[in-house]
Amino acid sequence: MKIFKNNGHAVVWGDAIDALTNYVPDSSVDLIFADPPYNIGKNFNGRSDRWPSDEDYLAWCYQWLELCIQKLKPHGSFYVMTATQNMPYFDIFLRARLTILSRIVWAYDSSGVQARKYFGSLYEPILFCVKDKEHYIFNAEDVMVEARTGATRKLIDYRKSTPTVYNSKKVPGNVWQFPRVRYRMEEYEKHPTQKPTTLLERVVLASSNPGDVVLDPFSGTFTTSAVARSLGRESVGIEIEEEYMKIGLRRLGIRESYNGKRLRREPKIYEQQDVDLFSVR
Ligand SMILES: C[S@@+](CC[C@H](N)C(=O)[O-])C[C@H]1O[C@@H](n2cnc3c(N)ncnc32)[C@H](O)[C@@H]1O
C-alpha cells in the first residue's frame, strides 16, 4: 500500500480491504460511496471482474461492507452500488446493520450492448444507508430539483386566501436520471465504468458538509474524490490499479508527474487530429 496526500486529499494505491483495515481509522468518515467491481466480467486494466462463484464474490463483499460500516462516524452515510442481481444480497446484509433510507435507481439513456432479444438493462441500483436514522446529514436544500408537473404554466393553489404559486422545487425521488460518461464528455477518463460527476455531486451535497471526510474504497477514476474536492470536502480514495491511481493523482492535483512522466489525460482521437492539423499549418 502506498499513500499520496495533499491538502486534505489522500490517494491510496492498494487493496481496499488492506487499506480500510490498516490506513483508515475507525469512526473517522462522514460519507462513503462504494462502487466495487460487480462480478460481471468487466476488464479493469487487465484485472478480472469475475469471481469463481457468486458465493465467493459475496463473501469478499461482506468483508469490505463490514469494514466500511466500522469506518463511518456515528452520524455517517453509506451509498453502495453493485449489479442488479447482487443487490438483494447487499440489501439483506446491510439492513441487519444499518438503516436503508433509499433504494435508488440510476437510470440512463442507453446501455453498452443494445439487447435485441430481451429488454436491455438501463439502470443500476444504489443503496443509501445511515448508521443512525435520527441523526444523519441530509442537505435537502442543496439538491432540490424542479418538480415535473406536466403543466406548462405554473400551478396555482386556489385554496389559499390569496392564490399562490405551488412550490416547484422538490427533493429528488429515488429514480435518478443522469447520462453515463461518454467519450466526448469533458470529464471522460480511460476506464470502463466511470461514474458521472453529476451523480456524485448529488450524493456529496446531500450527505456531507464542507470540511467532512468522504471515502471511496474503489475509486477508479476518482470521481468521488474529485467531486469532494470541488465541493470543499476532504477525501480518501483507494484504488488497486496503478493506471487508475495515477488518474487520481492528476485529478486531485496531488502530483504533476509520476515516475518521471508528466501526468496528463490521454488526448482523445479528435484532439489528436486537432493537434496534428495545427502543427502542419
Ligand atoms: C466500478 S469501478 C469504480 C469506478 C469509479 N466509481 C469511477 O467513477 O471511476 C471499480 C474499481 O475498483 C478497482 N478495484 C478492484 N479490486 C479492488 C480492490 N481489491 N481494492 C481496491 N480497488 C479495487 C478496479 O480497478 C476499478 O477501478
Domains, the chain, ordered by start:
2-137+174-280 (3.40.50.150), 141-172 (no CATH)
The listed range with the strongest mean pLDDT (138-152, 208-222, 264-278) is: 208-222
Q: How far is CA 175 from the centre of its chain?
A: 16
The CB of 189 under 6 Å from ligand 1? The reply is no
Do 78 and 93 touch, CB atoms closer than 8 A? no
Question: How does pLDDT run across 76-134, given as a tens digit for each residue?
Answer: 999 999 999 999 999 999 999 999 999 999 999 876 667 889 988 899 999 999 999 99
Q: How far is the CA of 248 from the centre of ligand 1 (A)?
A: 12
Atom of ligand 1 nearest to the CA of 217: 21
Atom of ligand 1 nearest to the CA of 219: 5
Dihedrals phi, psi of 14, to nearest 5 degrees? 170, -175
Q: E-assigned strands of the chain? A: 2-6, 9-13, 29-34, 43-44, 47-48, 72-81, 99-107, 123-130, 145-146, 156-157, 164-165, 169-170, 175-177, 213-216, 234-239, 257-258, 261-262
- Residue 281 clears pLDDT 60, i.e. is over it: no
Q: How far is CA 257 from the centre of its chain?
A: 26
Across the chain, mean pLDDT equals 93
Do the bridges between strand 261-262 and strand 234-239 make them parallel or antiparallel, or are there none, so unpaired?
unpaired
Query: How much of the chain exceeds pLDDT 90, in percent?
Result: 79
Average pLDDT over residues 257-279: 81
Best mutation site among 17, 106, 194, 218 for ligand 1 pocket (most ligand atoms within 8 Å of CB) = 218
Q: How far is the CA of 1 from the centre of ligand 1 (A)?
A: 15
Q: What is the pLDDT of residue 41?
A: 87
Question: How does pLDDT run across 200-218, given as a tens digit for each residue?
Answer: 999 999 999 999 999 999 9
Question: How does pLDDT run across 234-255, given as a tens digit for each residue?
Answer: 999 999 999 999 999 999 999 9
State the Cα–Cα distance between residues 92 and 127, nearest whole angstrom.
Answer: 11
Residue 131 has a CB neighbour count (10 Å cut-off) of 18
> Is the whole model's pTM more than 0.75, yes or no?
yes
The CB of 220 under 6 Å from ligand 1? The reply is yes
